[in-house]
């Protein structure tokens, strides 16, 4: 569609023109024309001009200066230099021709009888005609893709239309470069050989894009080129539009079609985002009512049916809490949190299909169906959660995930109780096990009771006097004695096993146990006292972890 130097040479006024240099660069586009009436013309050029001259402005220059003028014209992107001879020069100097060849600038000689206007007017007429055709084509393509958007056509229909327009296969990938749709299966399977990572806008297409060279799996590993256009929605890249130059190279009109297709896809993503946000709010409202147990069962199942939720059967609740190690003052936090939630939703949908997902107070809530008679249900849930965590870490290692798992809910009416237990597992699991840990309510043990104490001074009153004596012991080996006591009780008062876990000699472990008896007066044969001591040790652990989390 562009008017090229080679097209210009077909004009009647240039029938006697001779190409002196840059013959292999006659494919340059001509975007305008001007006359070189002064040597400083290069200060006013924008690129793509056809420059006509008699060389009069630079005749007095030295050879070196003349070379510099030719080089600067080439640097400015001049499409061709047309020189009229036999008026001020009988023959074009060889060093000017050589400089043109060196700088890939076509230099064309015309006879003195040819007026400049006989070249400039037809050239401008052709350029304007080309621009009108381009505008007409742009309008036709724009109207075509607008009609698709108004008709609520899918992304598949958009890329199929684009393929028909440009004569090359088209595919659509998600942000993780998983193929969502393609017009030709062979386009999906490739290996990147070389990639231009710079996302740019060009005169051919204002939409940001980049190029890559690939090796296709079929066709005996044939090398091909692709254009990749990131499609954004609400400041986030959602999909990639990929065009393979498998049938023919892309030309200017093809880029017009690609740009309009990218706009149509962007609008489609915005529309889907808006619909998804409305659905998300509705789902969160319904989930809130399920958790609170406030909605009548008839209305509950009716509303759930509208959004495709199956509320029949038994469930458990899984809570996901995400965080990052980033500057809290950064304006990017809100965007990051939104992207983290999106990644989490993708992972949950991938590894727990058909689960009910929502959000409450910044925590992602998942209702997962389970079988009441399945003894391994908790292990299966944990296995899925581990896969979710691993997948997210591969996408972004900075995201931290804390998980709490509730108990079994016989039916949907018991979800509120299961949710509270999952919340306990999430909160106390972080206190007991630190960040990025998966904790089920059943693993909390005695902390199910202890964790509900908000007054630590009151909680300390449950520490038995004998253990308190050890805590008040002022010698430097107090920490070793407390650790030995804890491990000794965990090993059912087996000193040999305790010494192995402590990595100390057996006699050292026995000595420490005897010292504990002397300091505290504990009777290790008294089962009730030992139970109180174990609870006291749990209380100490809970208080210590809570103090650590505060800082």
Number of domains in the chain: 4
Residues 345 and 390 in one domain: yes
- Taking residue 505's Cβ as centre, other Cβ atoms within 10 Å add up to 10
Q: How far apart are CA 295 and CA 214, in angstroms?
A: 56
Give residue 326's pLDDT: 53
Is 136 a domain residue?
no
Is 143 a domain residue?
no
Q: How far apart are CA 422 and CA 111, in angstroms?
A: 91
Q: The sheet that has 32-35: what strands, in order across it?
A: 18-21, 107-110, 80-84, 49-53, 32-35
Is 115 a domain residue?
yes
Q: How far apart are CA 231 and CA 221, in angstroms?
A: 29
Residues 158 and 118 in one domain: no
Q: Which of 213, 211, 209 is nearest to 259 (CA)?
A: 209
Cα of 189 vs its chain's centroid, Å: 21
Give residue 536's pLDDT: 85
Q: Which of 360, 378, 363, 384 is nearest to 290 (CA)?
A: 360
Is 300 a domain residue?
no
Residues 243 and 323 in one domain: no
Is 75 a domain residue?
yes
Beta strands of 27-74 (E only): which ranges?
32-35, 49-53
Q: Which residues pair with 358 in a beta bridge?
A: 365
Last residue of a domain, one of 224, 251, 273: 273
Residues 319 and 346 in one domain: yes
Q: How far apart are CA 79 and CA 2, in angstroms?
A: 12
Residues 401 and 492 in one domain: no
**What is the greatest pairwise CA distance in the chain?**
123
Residues 118 and 171 in one domain: no
Give per-residue pLDDT as tens, 193-236: 887 655 555 556 777 888 888 888 766 678 888 999 988 766 56
DSSP-derived secondary structure for 341-370: HHHHHHHHHHHSTT-EEEEETTEEEEEEEE
Distances (CA, A) of 417 to 28, 315, 410: 74, 11, 11
Is 246 a domain residue?
yes
Residues 383 and 491 in one domain: no
Residues 476 and 401 in one domain: no
DSSP class of residue 21? E
Its pTM stands at 0.55
We report the CATH number of the domain holding residue 242 as 3.30.450.40
Last residue of a domain, one of 126, 160, 185: 126
Spans in the chain with pLDDT lower than 50? 327-336, 550-551
Q: Enumerate residues 6+ apart whose C-beta is below 8 A from 65.
A: 58
Burial 477-496 (b: 16+ CB within 10 A, else e): eeeebbebbbbbbebeeebe
**Which residues form the domain of 117?**
5-126
Residues 383 and 484 in one domain: no
Is 139 a domain residue?
no
Residues 416 and 484 in one domain: no
Residues 58 and 171 in one domain: no
Residues 224 and 182 in one domain: yes
Is 283 a domain residue?
no
């Amino acid at each position: 569609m562009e008017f090229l130097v080679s097209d210009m040479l077909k004009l009647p006024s240039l029938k006697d023109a001779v190409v002196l240099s840059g013959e292999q660069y006659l494919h340059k586009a001509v975007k305008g024309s001007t006359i070189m009436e002064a040597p400083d013309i290069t200060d006013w050029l924008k690129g793509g001009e056809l420059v006509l001259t008699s060389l009069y402005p630079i005749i007095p220059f030295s050879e070196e200066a003349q070379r510099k003028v030719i080089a600067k014209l080439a640097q400015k992107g001049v499409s061709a230099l047309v020189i009229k001879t036999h008026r001020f020069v009988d023959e074009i100097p060889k060093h000017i021709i050589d400089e043109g060849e060196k700088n890939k600038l076509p230099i064309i000689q015309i006879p003195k009888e040819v007026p400049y206007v006989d070249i400039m007017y037809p050239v401008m007429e052709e350029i304007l005609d080309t621009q009108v055709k381009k505008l007409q084509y742009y309008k036709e393509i724009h109207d075509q893709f607008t009609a698709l958007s108004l008709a609520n056509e899918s992304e598949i229909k958009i890329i199929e239309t684009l393929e028909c327009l440009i004569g090359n296969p088209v595919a659509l990938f998600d942000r993780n470069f998983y193929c969502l749709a393609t017009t030709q299966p062979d386009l999906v399977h490739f290996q990147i050989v070389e990639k231009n990572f710079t996302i740019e806008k060009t005169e051919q297409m204002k939409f940001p894009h980049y190029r890559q060279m690939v090796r296709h799996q079929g066709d005996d590993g044939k090398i091909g080129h692709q254009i990749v256009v990131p499609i954004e929605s609400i400041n986030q890249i959602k999909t990639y539009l990929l065009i393979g130059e498998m049938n023919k190279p892309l030309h200017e009109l093809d880029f017009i079609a690609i740009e309009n297709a990218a706009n149509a896809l962007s609008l489609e993503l915005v529309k889907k985002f808006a619909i998804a946000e409305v659905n998300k709010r509705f789902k969160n409202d319904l989930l809130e009512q399920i958790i609170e147990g406030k909605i009548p069962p008839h209305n509950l199942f009716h509303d759930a049916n509208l959004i495709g939720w199956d509320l029949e059967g038994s469930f458990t609740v899984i809570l996901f809490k995400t965080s990052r190690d980033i500057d809290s003052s950064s304006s990017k936090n809100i965007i990051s949190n939104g992207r983290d939630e999106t990644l989490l939703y993708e992972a949950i949908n991938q590894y727990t299909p058909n689960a009910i997902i929502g959000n409450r107070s910044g925590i992602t809530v998942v209702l997962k169906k389970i079988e009441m008679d399945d003894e391994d249900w908790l292990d299966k849930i944990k296995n899925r959660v581990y896969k979710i965590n691993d997948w997210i870490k591969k996408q972004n290692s900075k995201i931290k995930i804390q998980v709490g798992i509730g108990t079994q809910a016989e039916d949907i009416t018991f979800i509120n109780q299961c949710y509270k237990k999952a919340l306990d597992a999430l909160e106390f699991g972080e206190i007991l096990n630190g960040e990025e840990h998966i904790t089920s309510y059943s693993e909390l043990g005695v902390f199910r009771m202890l964790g509900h104490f908000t007054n630590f001074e009151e909680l300390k009153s449950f520490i038995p006097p004998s253990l308190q004596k050890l805590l008040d012991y002022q010698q430097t080996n107090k920490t070793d004695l407390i650790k030995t006591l804890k491990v000794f009780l965990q090993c059912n008062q087996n000193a040999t096993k305790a010494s192995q876990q402590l990595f100390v000699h057996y006699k050292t472990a026995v000595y420490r146990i005897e010292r504990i008896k002397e300091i505290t007066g504990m009777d290790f044969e008294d089962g009730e006292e030992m139970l109180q001591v174990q609870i006291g040790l749990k209380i100490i652990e809970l208080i210590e972890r809570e103090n650590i989390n505060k800082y």
